[in-house]
Structure 1
Amino acid sequence: MASKEKLLMLLKFPFYMIYFYLEALLRTIFLRPSPKDVRGEVVLVTGAGHGIGREIALEFGRMGCRVVLWDVNKSGNDSVAAEIKAAGGEAHPFVCDLCKTEDIKTVSAQVKKNIGDVDILVNNAGILYGGEMLKMREEHIRRTFEVNTLSHFWTTKEFLPAMIKKKKGHIVTISSMSAKSGTALLVDYSSSKYAAFGFAEAMEEEMDRLGHSYIKFTTVCPMFVSSGLVKATTDVDEPLLTPKRVALATVNGTLLNRAVVMIPETLAFSLRIAAWFPRKLNLWLKKAGNLGIQPQYNSSKHD
């Protein structure tokens, strides 16, 4: 950037800052957005056979969406599809292994051919082992990133082009609060969720830079959830979030085009405050508050 352009940008900065602050304030107080209508839209949810994915799929099904269910577990996936159909909704279950790019390509082609273009892509599928990094097996660390992070690249590459062509689409990323604060015994999981958060954030900026700001992004960061991934936390006084609560917040955030959804929302303020603390103080607070999970990984118990 030339010197004159930099100087001009610096001169404009305070005016843009005031403008965007006022816009945000006015929207918060007077111009609260109405939820968008998603009836009839195709919503694809990965990891839809259980936990958060199941609840998200059921919620979109109740709203009249055409729900596409992806999961490696056929029985769980079929069960959710049957539940949506029993309630009068439309559901299409597909078995898909997100660790296999060819599987993703094959199943994506089936979805496009038999159901149509995906309007809302919910990258929800995730795995968590939970243990000391030095005790983890290489294949489990790689699998964590394949499911929690890399699969987002492959699903987005499959369905984003049609969204751009239609000038309409939404990509939802289920990240984690551990993506905002790295957590002991979750080194692989935290890293993969940091990457997933960064993926969505970078994609949003890239779409804007390329003139595709109509593509919306929502990233969800919940605390520990009682979905079966986390067996027990170290803070016995802090109850696990229910998949239902996370799903409702996710769907609501999607309908309102919110960029980031924190669950519970009070943690968003806590993270802003913590950003001003010395690193050692944050480490002490997490340790003194006994925040984290209990060890649950034993390499001999995994395939």
Structure 2
Amino acid sequence: MALLGLEMTNQMYTLPENQEFPNSFFPIHNRFEDCHQSHIMFDLIASPVDHCFLQRIGRQIAINFAEQGDLVLWDVDSAGNKETAQLVRKFGVNVWTYTCDVSNRQKVYTLAQRVKDEAGTVTILVNNAGIVSGSYFLDLSDEKIMKTMGVNTMAHFWTLRAFLPDMIKNNQGHVVTVSSLVGEGGIGGMSDYSASKCAVKGLHESILRELHMYRSNVKCTVVCPYTVNTGMFNGISVKYQFLLPFITPEYVGKKVVQAVLTDTDTLYLPPYIFIAVFLMHSLPTNVQLAIENFLNANEAMKSFVGKR
């Protein structure tokens, strides 16, 4: 039942921004062909307060991956999960849906075994769950901090421990970690969110190096997007936003799939944002702060009204 009709090689292809994959780009033979069943597994979201994030980024990634193979969808919101399943079934693929709070370690392990028994081998794992509190550090409660870290960070550990061993055993697979641009450095009003995204970026880099050390053919991709127009960050106010407008979920979904197909290990969205990241890390802290003050970056979350 391996429906992933694509050949994933170690060679990276650089595609123009608007170029689509031609229908004949990937031959029917694929590197997952030795698996009895190959599926793409998403943990879409782990908290009902962030349902909008599911509806936009997670759903768009699932829709784009539906053109490549069968899907397993995890979500704490069963109704939203079923809606996503209905959309992706239009592509003629098999879809399994499960309700799960991925911050709960035991629930993840229990459900992972069900997935293996009912759906088969998970070939691509997409860790996409995320929430944001939108509070400055002194306004954060212990509960908010623990919830953010549980959903945004610890869930990655639990799903990786559940599914990565089989990928390594089969010497094939791909792990997608959705981080954030603020995972490259802190920003005011996002101490818990930024810390959680920095953590998963570091987790990705460590796992990638361990896989390389063991000469494994399992691949890893970390996605570091700028603010996505999902409603998750409604109300934030940054000066000169026209210079760097919000990106769309459709754009993110398309680019994530392209990154997996080309074995890209780090994906910045939009790609040119990497230049800003590099320059900021190269500058003294006082210069960084001056630039952030000019852009009102550390004050932006004061007007935050997104899903809390």
Bin of the TM-score, shorter chain as denominator length: 0.7 to 0.9
Equivalent residue number for residue 132 of structure 2: 128
What is the aligned counterpart of 2:231 among 228, 240, 252? 228
User: Structure 1 166/296 Cα, relative in aligned 2: closer, same or farther at 3 Å?
Assistant: farther
Equivalent residue number for residue 249 of structure 1: 255
What is the aligned counterpart of 2:218 among 210, 215, 219? 215
State the shift of 1:297 in Å.
6.9
For structure 1, which runs of at least 5 residues remain unmatched after alignment? Answer: 1-23
Equivalent residue number for residue 85 of structure 1: 89
Q: Distance in 2 between matches of 1:81 and 1:159?
A: 21
Greater Cα offset, 75-84 or 86-95: 86-95
Equivalent residue number for residue 159 of structure 1: 163
Q: Does 1:45 align with 2:45?
A: no
Q: Deviations over 1:266-291 (max 9, x none)?
A: 11122222222111111111220223
TM-score normalised according to structure 2 size = 0.81
- CA contact under 8 A between 1:175 and 1:219: conserved in structure 2? yes
Structure with larger RCO (C-alpha < 8 A, sep 6+): 2
Equivalent residue number for residue 60 of structure 1: 65
Residue type at the aligned position of 1:102 = Q
Greater Cα offset, 266-275 or 153-162: 266-275
Greater Cα offset, 264-273 or 165-174: 264-273
- CA contact under 8 A between 1:175 and 1:196: conserved in structure 2? yes
Q: Distance in 1 between matches of 2:139 and 2:213?
A: 42
Greater Cα offset, 271-280 or 177-186: 271-280
Q: Deviations over 1:134-154 (max 9, x none)?
A: 111111110111111111111
Tell me the SS of whatever aligns to 1:288: helix
Q: Distance in 1 between matches of 2:204 and 2:139?
A: 30
Q: Does 1:290 align with 2:296?
A: yes
For structure 2, which runs of at least 5 residues remain unmatched after alignment? Answer: 1-10, 16-24, 46-53
User: Structure 1 296/103 Cα, relative in aligned 2: closer, same or farther at 3 Å?
Assistant: farther
Q: Distance in 1 between matches of 2:194 and 2:165?
A: 29
Q: Distance in 1 between matches of 2:224 and 2:291?
A: 20
Q: Deviations over 1:13-65 (max 9, x none)?
A: xxxxxxxxxxx9x9879xxxx768589731011116422111111111123x1
What is the aligned counterpart of 2:279 among 246, 266, 273? 273
Q: Distance in 1 between matches of 2:111 and 2:229?
A: 29
Residue type at the aligned position of 2:62 = A
Q: Distance in 2 between matches of 1:228 and 1:92?
A: 27
User: Structure 1 275/84 Cα, relative in aligned 2: closer, same or farther at 3 Å?
Assistant: same
Residue type at the aligned position of 1:46 = D
- CA contact under 8 A between 1:73 and 1:95: conserved in structure 2? yes
Q: Deviations over 1:66-113 (max 9, x none)?
A: 111011011100000011113322211110111211110111111000
State the shift of 1:165 in Å.
1.2
Equivalent residue number for residue 263 of structure 1: 269
- CA contact under 8 A between 2:233 and 2:304: conserved in structure 1? no
| Percent of aligned pairs with the same amino acid | 31
Q: Distance in 1 between matches of 2:295 and 2:201?
A: 25
Q: Distance in 2 between matches of 1:219 and 1:201?
A: 8
Q: Does 1:139 align with 2:139?
A: no
Equivalent residue number for residue 207 of structure 2: 203
User: Structure 1 134/72 Cα, relative in aligned 2: closer, same or farther at 3 Å?
Assistant: same
- CA contact under 8 A between 1:61 and 1:90: conserved in structure 2? no
Equivalent residue number for residue 110 of structure 1: 114
State the shift of 1:219 in Å.
0.2
Q: Distance in 1 between matches of 2:101 and 2:208?
A: 26
Q: Distance in 1 between matches of 2:95 and 2:165?
A: 23
Tell me the SS of whatever aligns to 2:264: coil
